[in-house]
Chains A and B, each alone.
Chain A
Amino acid sequence: MPDYGIDAAVDITSVVCPVTFVKTKVAIEELDDGQILLVRMNDGEPIQNVPRSLKDEGHEILKLIDNKDGTYNLIVRKRESGG
């Protein structure tokens, strides 16, 4: 897998909707614009909703990686708020 230069990681596998997105949002807010966050999430509902919610907030999804253990890593770049 290519190296995305991950700046921070958050694990949301122990929480359920809507806390999944809240936790993700808090984690991404702590980053600087353009930095990269890794979000580890469960299959199912989080996969359906978290990438889309991040997209709707203007962040850039780079990759979804299957960890082959029922979890996925989503790589996302924080939106540049200047524009």
Chain B
Amino acid sequence: METKRLVFIGVGGQGNLLASRLLGEAALAMNIPVVVSEIHGMAQRGGIVESAVLLGDVSSPIVSSSEADVLIGFEPLETLRALSKCNKDTVVITNTHPLPPFTVAVGQGTYPKVEETLKFIRERAKKVIELDGNAIAEEVGNPLSLNMVMLGALIGSGTTPIGAEEMKKVLSTSTKKAFLESNLKAFDLGMAKAV
């Protein structure tokens, strides 16, 4: 099976670890070899959180620089920062909603303009899927469903062998009842942005 190297990048609290884990669960359910790596600990106090999912004939759980097939960025500045993981064939999926770090508020650096960030990425990646994930999460009435939106966009992009049905099955068994409907809606809307 063809190897797929996916990098998820986000900010503490955005739920990208859960997204990568659920993708791994779906792969397992489909009998696709999978490893998922996560960084726990210090990174979670509002810092950058990175995870990776590797599918196919591969044992290494991490992605070296320039080796990502897909980069899923939950925040535009962090997508930009993580471009070193990409090469000319990488598909980039990015949330466009900015979350400036507190260093910006205290005057240690400026937050790059989102439009310029996106332009920078577009000029370099093979394909960029852009969506305002936070707006969609608000729209479904569950601000915490950003990770479902991004997962939807990933599945919609067709860059992995994992289908929407399998993914939704995993979401249904691993989500609390109260959030299931909004999560599935968020997933569908994210997916619609990518296909």
> Are A and B subunits of one complex?
no
Instruction: List the interface of chain A (C-beta within 8 A of B).
Output: none
